[in-house]
């Protein structure tokens, strides 16, 4: 039983290394700073796209946009994943703004 547990732990560790289970940075600037330690432009772009996706999934849309925009401006101006993330995050921000306006109007009108 103990051997099976050890094998399971080792497998989990190997999978996290190979599949890139990385910790989300605390902010866009922290993610960008962390990417500077990577060697190639491709590695930096891939890392930052993953960070932007993590921000998006955490509903931190401004951070996602900032990271994806950095990729487009500095690493890969043709990056489809960065472009897509920016579009999706902007749509989420717009929807949230429209909801807030609607809620405020309803409150003001007493609905």
Q: What is the pLDDT of residue 22?
A: 61
Q: DSSP letters of 23-83?
A: PPPSSHHHHHHHHTTSSSHHHHHHHHHHHHHHHHHTT-HHHHHHHHHHIIIII-TT-HHHH
Q: What is the pLDDT of residue 1?
A: 52
Measured CA to CA in angstroms, residue 15 lies from 10, 47, 50 at distances of 9, 17, 17
Q: In the chain, which stretches have pLDDT less than 50?
A: 4-20
Q: Is 30 exposed, middle or buried (0-12, 13-18, 19+ CB in 10 A)?
A: middle
Q: What is the pLDDT of residue 107?
A: 83
Q: What is the pLDDT of residue 109?
A: 82
């Amino acid at each position: 039983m103990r051997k099976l547990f050890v094998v399971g732990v080792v497998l989990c560790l190997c999978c996290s290394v190979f599949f890139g289970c990385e910790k989300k940075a605390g902010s866009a600037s922290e993610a960008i700073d962390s990417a500077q330690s990577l060697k190639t432009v491709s590695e930096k772009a891939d890392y930052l796209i993953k960070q932007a996706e993590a921000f998006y999934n955490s509903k931190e849309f401004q951070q996602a946009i900032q990271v994806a925009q950095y990729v487009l401006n500095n690493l890969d101006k043709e990056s489809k994943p960065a472009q897509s993330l920016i579009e999706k995050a902007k749509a989420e921000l717009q929807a949230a703004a429209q909801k807030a306006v609607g809620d405020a109007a309803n409150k003001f009108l007493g609905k």
